[in-house]
Amino acid sequence: MTKIPFMVFTDLDGTLLDHETYSYDAALPALSRLKEMAIPVVLASSKTGPEIAVLRDDLGLSASPAIVENGAGLLAPHDVPPARGDGYARLRRLLDDVAPDLRRAFRGFGDMGPEGVAENAGLKAAAAEMACQRSYSEPGIWSGSPEGEAAFIAALSAKGIKARRGGRYLTLSFGGTKADRMKEAAQLFGSPRLIALGDAPNDVEMLEHADLGVIISNAHSTPLPELAGEQEGRILRSTKFGPEGWNEMMQKLISKLAAQ
Ligand SMILES: [Mg+2]
C-alpha cells in the first residue's frame, strides 16, 4: 500500500453539511483537491449505515470507511449496510429487561417506529425509515424525572449499556466514540496523520485525538468551549460556518501539508 500523507475525518451536520440546507456545495473545491490527492475522507456522524451510505455515494467517497451511529460502529469501504444489525436486537432485548416503571419513561426509535420518528425528528418518511435501520445504538426520549433518568442509566449500566445525552436524545449503545472508530479506520490506511473536523460536543474526543483538529463554527449553537489543543495550535477554529468554513480551513491545510 502506498503510504498516504494524511486522512480526514469529518462530522456532517453543521460541519460538512450546512446546518439548515444540508448542502455540502461550498466544500466541493477542497473535496475535489483531496480526491485528486487520493486522501481518504471518512464521514463520521450520528446517522445510521443506510443513511450515511447514500451520502457517501453522492460524495464519491465509497472507497473510504464511515463512522456511523456516533462512533458505535464502522461501515467498511464499499459496504452496503444491513437494514438491522445483531447488536441492535441485543440492545433492545436488554432495554426491555429494565424494570417496567423506568422502561416506560423511555421511548426509543424502536418504540416510535418510522412514523413516530418522522414526527419527532421532523424527517420525511423515507429518511425516518433509514434512521430506524439501526445496527448499534438506540436514541430515544426520556420523559420521566431526572432521578428516574439516573436510575434508568444505572440499570442499563449494570447490563453493559452506556447512555449518552445529546441535544434532543438520550442514546444507548454498547459504547464507542467517534475517536475510537477513528483509530480503527486509520489502521486500514497504515495510520497516517489524522485531521478531524467537527462542530459539537460529540466531536470533541475526535478533535482531541487527531493530529490536527478543526472546530467548524456553527451559527446555530453555543460555541464549543476552548479546547486544550487550541493553545498549542493543534486545534484550529474556522471563522466561516459549516461547509464554507470546512472549505476555507481544508484549503489552507492541504497547501500547508502538501508543502511539508
Ligand atoms: Mg455536527
The answer to whether residue 1 sits within a structural domain is no
Ligand 1 centroid – CA 200 distance (Å): 5
| Same structural domain, 163 and 91 | yes
pLDDT digits (tens, 9 = 90+) for 94-126: 999 999 999 999 999 999 999 999 999 888 999
Query: Would the pTM of this model clear 0.75, i.e. be above it?
Result: yes
Closest Cα partner for 95 from 74, 116, 109, 82?
109
| Same structural domain, 167 and 117 | yes
Ligand 1 centroid – CA 21 distance (Å): 13
- The CATH code of the domain that includes 43 is 3.40.50.1000
- pLDDT > 60? residue 87: yes
| Same structural domain, 185 and 71 | yes
- pLDDT > 70? residue 1: no
| Same structural domain, 188 and 141 | no
Confidence category of residue 166, pLDDT binned at 50, 70, 90 = confident
- Mean predicted confidence (pLDDT) in 128-156: 96
Residue at a domain's end among 120, 153, 173: 173
- pLDDT > 70? residue 167: no
Ligand 1 centroid – CA 167 distance (Å): 11
Residue at a domain's end among 129, 158, 173: 173
Q: What pLDDT does 103 receive?
A: 98
Which of helix, strand or coil describes residue 221? coil
| Same structural domain, 183 and 58 | yes
Ligand 1 centroid – CA 101 distance (Å): 33
The domain total for the chain is 2
The answer to whether residue 100 sits within a structural domain is yes
| Same structural domain, 70 and 95 | no
Task: Please state, for a pLDDT cut of 70, what percent of the chain lies above it.
Answer: 99
Ligand 1 centroid – CA 50 distance (Å): 18
Which residue range(s) make up the domain with 141?
86-173
pLDDT digits (tens, 9 = 90+) for 181-234: 999 999 999 999 999 999 998 899 999 999 999 999 998 888 999 999 999 999
Closest Cα partner for 45 from 26, 71, 7?
71
Quick one: residue 127, left, alpha or beta (phi over 0 = left, psi -120 to 50 = alpha)?
Answer: alpha
> Is there a catalytic annotation at residue 11?
yes
| Same structural domain, 61 and 30 | yes
Q: What pLDDT does 220 receive?
A: 87
As a whole number of Å, the end-to-end CA separation of the chain is: 21
Residue 196 near residue 12 (C-beta atoms within 8 A):
no
Ligand 1 centroid – CA 97 distance (Å): 33
How many residues does this entry show for the chain?
Answer: 260
- The CATH code of the domain that includes 153 is 3.30.980.20
Confidence category of residue 42, pLDDT binned at 50, 70, 90 = very high
Confidence category of residue 2, pLDDT binned at 50, 70, 90 = low
Residue at a domain's end among 124, 154, 173: 173
